[in-house]
Amino acid sequence: MDQNERIKAIVEKQREFFYTNKTLDIEFRIKMLMRLRRAVISHERDLQRALEDDLGRDPAEAYFCDIGSLVLEINETIKGLRRWARPETHFSGIQCFPSVLTRVYKMPYGVTLIISPFNFPILLSLGVLAASIAGGNTAVIKASSKSKNCTKIMKKIIKETFPGKYVTVLGGGHDIADICLEQRFDKIFYTGSPKIGKHVLEKASKNLTPVALELGGETGNYCIIRKDANIKDAARKVAFFKALNSGQICININQVAVAKEVANEFVVELKKAFNKQLGKAPLYNSEYPRLITERAYDKCETYANKYKDRIVYGGQGNKASLKFEPTVIYPVDIHEEIVNKELFSPLLPVIPYEDDKIEELLDVIKRREKGLALYLFTEDIEWADRTMRTMQYGGGCINEVCLHMMVKGVPFNGVGHSGMGAYHGEWGFKEFTHPQTVLFGSSKWNLSMREHPYREWKKILISLFER
């Protein structure tokens, strides 16, 4: 059996299983989520080793970013699922009398496809799976070929935990993803680049399949530091985040815009923060992750060489280990190429701007593609709040970085070139369900005013009821 036939058979078996209505049962879904949680916890060491082999992740970082966050996500889903899935009851309105009862059922889509990335291969595969299971769906996970060790252990875990007619993990490259996209799925969830996101949408359009996209954003995520900010605190947090996973994070800071009045001070504090957190030789620090492939390394090195005359920190790499130092490039103009695309690396361009011209800076950012995240550092919380309420982006923080995605009960995703749809917790349940409205009609006391012929008294009653 070739790959086309094999994948088609998997989808057909999952569809037949879905048609048994077994996944509609809430207790079944909770049982499956508990089974998933138990499998993740029991394979914690295996997952940590796979993350170390693929990305050079320290076990602590592997647990914090992927494994622990996944367990928290599953816990939240188990706790809230009965309430989330409960049908809503609505009063139909006097205009529908005597059929005054309407219910909204939260129905699963059916067979779902989850295409996951390499950067957080466990969380962004099994975390999305938890939302799909909660919604009452079956799932095919197309895991990344770049993080091959994580894909291998996930295939093992899922095969031990669920029958293939319910959940299946596939490896392979773009060819396998394209074969999956040729199948008729009922929902697709893709995490990755805007370029591939467009391809996924195009393929999905052939079957009018609803799609959720989590994308990094075409021009990256901005961090803005005002002159009144706590510079040392900002530098410490920016350094932590830029070093995390070697910058390979969809919500990471792509560039920092710093008020000229404090730009030099910020660069000095940023250097100190990197040295404190990673030491003066990050390439030999076992806690510092590596880039995923030689291609990613070469792309990072090429950009660094192009801007080598403005590198004020870092700039060196080791191709054998695929590690590249956190690299600060300063000063950079906001219109230069490097700040007009997502870098997905430890390179950090620093853009000085005049603080009293902050609105001009915001206007430039506003006219570019919408980012997945926005970070502001300032003591002027009123300004920050107003800015956050007028800019368009996926999510963000004021005087903090990245932690917004760890808050329970709130949605996560982008808009436009940084994504569509939303998930995490109840929002993930909503993403993987369709609300179906059903009015319960009455066979007694029916009024004929909505039926022909339209007498004058009917027109009067209709205008009264629908006023």
Task: Say how far residue 338 (Cα) sits from the centre of its chain.
Answer: 23
Q: Does 214 participate in catalysis according to the annotation?
A: yes
Question: ∠ at Cα 281 (275, 284), nearest 5°?
Answer: 130
Q: Greatest CA span in the chain, whole angstroms?
A: 87
Active-site position among 65, 250, 300, 397? 250
49 dihedral zone (left: phi>0; alpha: psi -120 to 50; beta): alpha
Quote the CA–CA distance of 414 and 213 in Å, as a whole number.
Answer: 8
DSSP-derived 3-state class of residue 264: helix
Residues 6+ apart with CB under 8 A from 15: 110, 111, 138
Q: Is the peptide bond before 453 cis (omega within 30 degrees of 0)?
A: yes
Quote the CA–CA distance of 367 and 261 in Å, as a whole number.
Answer: 25
Active-site position among 76, 214, 218, 369? 214
Q: Is the peptide bond before 98 cis (omega within 30 degrees of 0)?
A: yes
Residues 6+ apart with CB under 8 A from 185: 11, 110, 111, 112, 113, 140, 204, 207, 209
- With b for 16 or more beta-carbon neighbours within 10 A and e for fewer, the 333-353 pattern comes to ebeeebbeebbbbbbbbbbbb
Residues 6+ apart with CB under 8 A from 314: 274, 282, 324, 325, 326, 327, 328, 346
Residue 320 neighbours by CB distance under 10 Å: 7
Token pair for 416 = 């436009």
Q: Does 65 participate in catalysis according to the annotation?
A: no
Residue 140, strand partner residues: 113, 168
- As annotated, the active-site residues are 214, 250
